[in-house]
Amino acid sequence: MTATTAATTATTMVLAEKVHKSFGHVEVLKGIDLEVGNGEVVCLLGPSGSGKSTFLRCINHLERIDGGRLSVDGELIGYRQNGDKLYEMHEREVAAQRRGIGMVFQRFNLFPHMTALENVMEAPVQVRKEAKASARVRSLELLERVGLGDKAGNYPAQLSGGQQQRVAIARALAMKPKLMLFDEPTSALDPELVGEVLDVMKDLAAEGMTMIVVTHEIGFAREVADTVVFMDGGVVVEAGKPSDVIGNPQHPRTQAFLSKVL
Amino acid sequence: MSAVVSAAPAASRPELITAVPVRRTGQWISAAVVVAIVALLVWSVATNENLQWSVVGDYLFDGSILRGAVTTIQLTVLSMVIGVVLGVVLAVMRLSANPVLSVVSNAYLWLFRGTPVLVQVVIWFNLALIFPTLGFGSFSVETNSVITTFGAALLALALNEAAYMAEVVRGGILSVDRGQTEAAHALGLTGSQTMRRIVLPQAMRVIVPPTGNELVTMLKTTSLVAVIGGTEMFGVAQAIGARDFTTFPMLIVACFWYLAMTSVLSYAQSKLERRFARGTQAGIANTPGTLQRLLGSRLPARTATPGGTR
């Protein structure tokens, strides 16, 4: 049940093998296998509680996996392997790994005490120790790119949900990530604001960014995704091209889900 | 109580209601009773010869009392500064995933919150009884040369305050949404960067008001230092009272200055709280004052003006 697109992409960006994750006695991920190629856009679909968000959060080690292997760009996430022994990474090493992985949250999670520009500048200045002047220029360019060049001085509370989420995308891009994770980026938005965020994401996909998107936007998945993965009950039920998984689902569980959301 | 009248044009609106307010006769009777009792008390105190009001007047602006007040302020400010800084450290330690840090912090809080601050003041003052010298190896100094009366007072108050501030700061830190920490971590910020740049600045909104309370409390708590012969205001007032057999007048002098200082602080605190509440809840700005509450029922609907008087 591996979503293998190795035929179309040269290198592998994310490789998950039998990933397990439990919260207490509840096993949320029961062995996820997934391969995401460089430049590929993968959409994770599935009912709530299927483990798709948890899996996404494992990819940048916001959640620690209990079993299996998970690597990004050939590097194990959260662990170091020496022989056949695994060593837990130090907090600083985890932080260093996360620099290359951007994440966008359902609830935006912008820093409310900073302006849009300061939000975008924060990580380049604090983490990459970039000079403030150059970080400012680059951050303004990023805000321009998401269509918010004129909102640089606004605080998050002064922005609409859609604008906040676009700032959040610019903030993640400021670290020049090789991989972007989106955790239901439009689920907290008013319906009329969903489009502006999806447009930014489409542009990003067109530029060749590797993206993993947890979403309920079937239309977006059909249009933008190279691979659609349907998850349920902590396992990958079905994966493949959008035309197959969404257009002609094979598994009854996928069929049932899509018949309700389409 | 303060009905806010909208400024919107009333063109298409129904006429505003002008009703006779409910009569609150009970309120007026009880107010009269209270005023009568207070007047009686004031009269009995003001005309009491044992109080020696002339002595109160003589010492109210006496140099030694004023110097004592300055010492009180110094002790308050220094204790609070040390207490806040150490309190932040203790709070972060307590919330740390590192068990050594959190256990140390918990033990500190247990010890310093579990013993009376008066006892702590006396312990620091008498430290020389068990440790005549301080230091290690060849370096050592006389304990009493380091821990003077002021030093003992400062240590006791600051270390005790740190324990209470730690809880205030911890509450502030916990009030910040977890998503903030996750977003910072996802950007690659380390734990300490996240705390310093993201969490603590947001926790300030919750931390500032109770810290103002702590400051007012600290100002009054400094009076405990009188028991070890401190030269802060209460100690000075007591010493003069004992010398001249004017105990009560000197207590009144001390109370006057404590009230003056806490009134200034309380006023500053309410200003500060209003500032921090701005944009979060409209409630505070419209809370009617006491006079407004009492008279409110007698007044027709009107726009709320702070401290509104008739």
Tens digits of residue pLDDT in B233-278: 999 999 999 999 999 999 999 999 999 999 999 998 888 777 766 5
Q: Hey, which residues does B41 pair with through a beta bridge?
A: none
- The closest CB to that of A123, out of B177, B188, B201, belongs to B188
Q: What are phi and psi of A15, to 5 degrees?
A: -130, 115
Of A215, A185, A63, residue with least CA distance to B185: A63
For residue A256, is pLDDT > 90?
Answer: yes
Tell me how close the Cα of B142 comes to any Cα of chain A, in angstroms.
44
What DSSP letter does each residue of A4-72 carry, written as one string?
Answer: --TTT-SSEEEEEEEEEEEETTEEEEEEEEEEEETT-EEEEE--TTSSHHHHHHHHTTSS--SEEEEEE
Which residues in chain B touch residue A95, judged by CB atoms under 8 angstroms apart?
185, 188-190
Of B244, B292, B307, residue with least CA distance to B1: B292
Cα dihedral A224→A230→A231→A236 (10° resolution)? -110
The residue to which tokens 């005309």 are assigned: B47
User: CA angle, B94 as apex, B88 and B98 as ends, to 5°?
Assistant: 120
Most A CBs within 10 Å, among B181, B185, B187, to test the A interface: B187
- Residue-averaged pLDDT of chain A: 93
Q: Which pLDDT band, with edges at 50, 70 and 90, does A6 fall under?
A: very low
Tell me how close the Cα of B183 comes to any Cα of chain A, in angstroms.
6
Q: Which pLDDT band, with edges at 50, 70 and 90, does B3 fall under?
A: low
Q: What is the pLDDT of residue B204?
A: 87
Distance CA B67, CA B147 (A): 21
Q: What is the pLDDT of residue B137?
A: 75
For residue A142, is pLDDT > 60?
Answer: yes
For chains A and B, what is the number of CB pairs under 8 angstroms? 61
Closest chain B residue to A168, measured at CA: B183
> pLDDT tens, B162-179?
999 999 999 999 999 999
- Residue-averaged pLDDT of chain B: 86
The verdict on a CB contact (< 8 Å) between B187 and A127 is yes
ipTM of the complex: 0.92
Closest chain A residue to B279, measured at CA: A157
Distance CA B284, CA B275 (A): 10
Q: What are phi and psi of A37, to 5 degrees?
A: -80, 165
Closest chain B residue to A172, measured at CA: B187
Average pLDDT over residues A149-177: 96
Q: What is the pLDDT of residue B21?
A: 84
Q: Which pLDDT band, with edges at 50, 70 and 90, does A261 fall under?
A: confident
Which residues in chain B touch residue A99, judged by CB atoms under 8 angstroms apart?
187-188
The verdict on a CB contact (< 8 Å) between A126 and B193 is yes
Closest chain B residue to A99, measured at CA: B188
The residue to which tokens 């003006």 are assigned: B305
For residue A103, is pLDDT > 70?
Answer: yes
For residue B6, is pLDDT > 60?
Answer: no
Contact A59, A72 (CB under 8 A): yes
Helix axes B63-95 and B200-221, enclosed angle (nearest 10): 140
Of A172, A157, A181, residue with least CA distance to A53: A181
Which residues have a Cβ under 8 Å from the Cβ of B149 and sit 6 or more positions away? B125, B225, B228, B229, B230, B231
pTM, 2 dp: 0.80
Most B CBs within 10 Å, among A109, A114, A127, A181, to test the B interface: A109
Distance CA A209, CA A182 (A): 12
Q: What is the pLDDT of residue B18?
A: 86
Average pLDDT over residues A242-261: 92
Q: What is the pLDDT of residue B12?
A: 73
User: Quick one: which H or E segment has residue B249?
Assistant: helix B247-277
